[in-house]
Chain A
Amino acid sequence: MSEEAISLFSPQLAARLDALAARYPSRRSALVPMLLYAQDEVGYLSDAVINEVAARIGIPELEVRNVASYYSMLHMKPLGKYKVQICTSISCMLRGADEVYERFEKELGLEAGGVTPDGLFSLEKVECIGACSWAPAIQVNYDFQEELTPELVPGILDFYREKDTGKEPHA
């Protein structure tokens, strides 16, 4: 990035992205991690985020969009602050993932792809998350929650609501 450009990322993230771009044999290799780390901070891949990442890597913006659209964790629209991702693949299905998903739907008043009006939660069905022996499993952002039953759903949501108020949540 040129020195006069103003980054939309925090100084910590900007430093992290600089280090990322420098460590690979080819700068382009940093593209996908950069997009994911930027999304973690900003919330989604806005036009501004895509522009800045394109400039950092030194490729056209269209090229960034072409790559970003391939990866299921990258998204161009805002989701919830806490992304509730329910695995409904086979191993989780066999152990009641659909019932867990339905309970999340009910508690959040959302369908898959929806975001709560306060922006706190979004709900998604996702493919296998690699927790098959501890099914049914979900991820809230990057946290795994395993061996769930529908009865555990309200407690999980309360945990993240409390976390959001800045209080130390107790599990």
Chain B
Amino acid sequence: MPRLVSHPDEVKIVSRRFGMGAASIDRYLELGGYAAARKCLQQGPEWIISEIKSSNLRGRGGAGFPTGLKWSFVPKTSAKPKYVLVNGDESEPGTCKDHLIFQHDPHAVIEGTIIAGLAIGAKLGFIYLRGEYRGLLEIMEKAIAEAYAKGFLGTHIFGSNTEFQIITHTGAGAYEVGEESALMESLEGKRGIPRIKPPFPAVVGLYGGPTVINNAETIATVPHVIEMGAVAFAAAGSPRNGGTRLVSISGHVERPGVYELPMGYNLKKMIDTVAGGVRGGHKLKAVVPGGSSTPVLLPEEINIGMDFDQVGKAGSMLGSAAVIVIDDRTCMVEFALRTISFYQHESCGWCIPCREGTDWLKKTLTRLHAGFGEAKDIDNIQYIAENMMGRTFCPLGDAAAMPTVAFVKKFRKEFEAHLNGNPCPFAKHAKLVVV
């Protein structure tokens, strides 16, 4: 089981029940669970949406879209049924926060889904988990069965005349379906390729009905917003960035782990203090601040607050708040290659710039890293990546291109050191590659 970590600077809101046995409904109720859903049932949709709006809760999947605003886009009346779809296809390299939510607090996901359903007037919610999370899916399914048994789900939730049902769904291995329109395609039993927008899912979504799609962490945060109140939740974060964030810290630090920190918490302090600094006394070389798709930052660029706006201002993105720490023994060409290999593998192939671009980037970086690159390859990498951006239906093309551009721009010297038949300067990999 994944190790839980703790640090005095943490503000435990979403993770406050981790490690407390809250996967069982009785324990969840003891710890105050389902009070938020009951309250929402009494208060009604307008109150819920206004609370979520004023809490400054923004989407935890990566884009940071204001959750309350997203919910408000769903039409009040609709000829077709409305749906809630919870995105638990957690697949962005570096990100492992939803893993812990499903494991330790499945009822928070259920409760958040109910609240989202009440807000938009949906009677059915789906919780989609990536296929690799089978063990976690079983935890979710057990929790849902418990919620049905208590009457919290069904045709008369909490003894009211309101209906809300939840269906779980397993994926079968695909990063691309984390994109919301591809997620809907996948749930409809198709290949996970993106849809053209508009129309947006809030108007035409799953099975053609209005659909709200939220990341699992966003949904699990919703009951806490209701419980503590929008004002208190907003105050826990930074301006326009309400609450806390589950930060997945990985890579070369002494204490990797998932920490819950206030929005706007300093990135440098996060690495040096919370995660115990760079492992083994080595020097910091680079930080990927928000999952593999976010542009890399240099050590002198990390004295920033971790919220959507401040990381954006520093030229990167908060994304899924997956902080990947890289020490000075790491070859950045190899890191770039490993990053693009992921996107090449995961590109669904629907849009040509992404399908071809990721493939050529991988080929060029493979050759360069092996010491067979030519000087023009470095500019070519830049050129290919820049030509992918903004030219695909979904953000996967950008997700592959943006970090690549940043690697070349910020570590050009290291790319050049691999030219002219020179072996990779980082000893571990300095073996002869026959091409």
Q: Which A residues have a C-beta under 8 Å from some C-beta of B?
A: 23-26, 28-33, 35-36, 57, 66-67, 70-74, 88-91, 93-95, 127-135, 139, 142-144, 146-147
Distance of A25 Cα from B184 Cα, bound (Å): 13
- Nearest CB to that of A87 among chain B residues? B93
Kindly state whether residue B130 has any CB partner on chain A within 8 Å.
yes
10 contacts between A and B (CB under 8 A): A28-B189, A32-B189, A89-B292, A94-B250, A127-B93, A130-B96, A132-B93, A132-B256, A139-B132, A143-B135
| A145 nearest CB across to chain B (Å) | 11
Interface size class of B (residues with CB under 8 A): 35 or more
Kindly state whether residue B16 has any CB partner on chain A within 8 Å.
no
| A130 nearest CB across to chain B (Å) | 5
Contact B292 A133 (CB under 8 A): no
- Nearest CB to that of B134 among chain A residues? A142
Interface 0/1 of B256-290, CB less than 8 Å to A:
11100000000000000000000000000000100
Kindly state whether residue B92 has any CB partner on chain A within 8 Å.
yes
B186 CB contacts on chain A under 8 angstroms:
32
Kindly state whether residue B433 has any CB partner on chain A within 8 Å.
no
Contact B2 A70 (CB under 8 A): no
Distance of A40 Cα from B190 Cα, bound (Å): 20
| A65 nearest CB across to chain B (Å) | 11
A139 CB contacts on chain B under 8 angstroms:
132
A24 CB contacts on chain B under 8 angstroms:
167
Q: A29-B187, A70-B192, A70-B348 are in contact. Are A91 and B93 (CB under 8 A)?
A: yes
Distance of A166 Cα from B191 Cα, bound (Å): 38
- Nearest CB to that of A66 among chain B residues? B191
A30 CB contacts on chain B under 8 angstroms:
189
Distance of A128 Cα from B324 Cα, bound (Å): 13
Contact partner, B91, options A35, A36, A67, A130, Cβ 8 Å: A130
Distance of A29 Cα from B170 Cα, bound (Å): 11
Q: A67-B190, A133-B96, A134-B96 are in contact. Are A23 and B2 (CB under 8 A)?
A: no
Distance of A132 Cα from B324 Cα, bound (Å): 9
Distance of A144 Cα from B133 Cα, bound (Å): 9
A31 CB contacts on chain B under 8 angstroms:
189
Q: Which of A88, A127, A132 has the most CB of B within 10 A?
A: A132
Distance of A89 Cα from B93 Cα, bound (Å): 7
| A59 nearest CB across to chain B (Å) | 8
Contact B167 A132 (CB under 8 A): no
Contact partner, A67, options B167, B189, B257, B258, Cβ 8 Å: B189
Distance of A35 Cα from B334 Cα, bound (Å): 36
Distance of A3 Cα from B169 Cα, bound (Å): 27
Contact partner, A32, options B94, B172, B326, B335, Cβ 8 Å: B172
Contact B338 A90 (CB under 8 A): yes
Kindly state whether residue B188 has any CB partner on chain A within 8 Å.
yes
A57 CB contacts on chain B under 8 angstroms:
189
Q: A71-B174, A95-B251 are in contact. Are A130 and B124 (CB under 8 A)?
A: no
Distance of A100 Cα from B187 Cα, bound (Å): 35
Interface residues of B in 1-29 (CB under 8 A from A): 2-3
The 4 closest A-B pairs by CB, nearest first: A73-B173, A72-B173, A31-B189, A71-B172
Contact partner, A72, options B133, B174, B256, Cβ 8 Å: B174
Contact partner, A134, options B3, B174, B192, B252, Cβ 8 Å: B3
Interface 0/1 of B341-368, CB less than 8 Å to A:
0100110100000000000000000000
Contact B173 A130 (CB under 8 A): no
Kindly state whether residue B181 has any CB partner on chain A within 8 Å.
no
Contact partner, B335, options A28, A90, A135, A146, Cβ 8 Å: A90
Distance of A78 Cα from B73 Cα, bound (Å): 47
Q: A89-B342, A133-B258 are in contact. Are A128 and B251 (CB under 8 A)?
A: no
Distance of A139 Cα from B136 Cα, bound (Å): 13
A144 CB contacts on chain B under 8 angstroms:
2, 135
Q: Which of B173, B187, B190, B258 has the most CB of A within 10 A?
A: B173
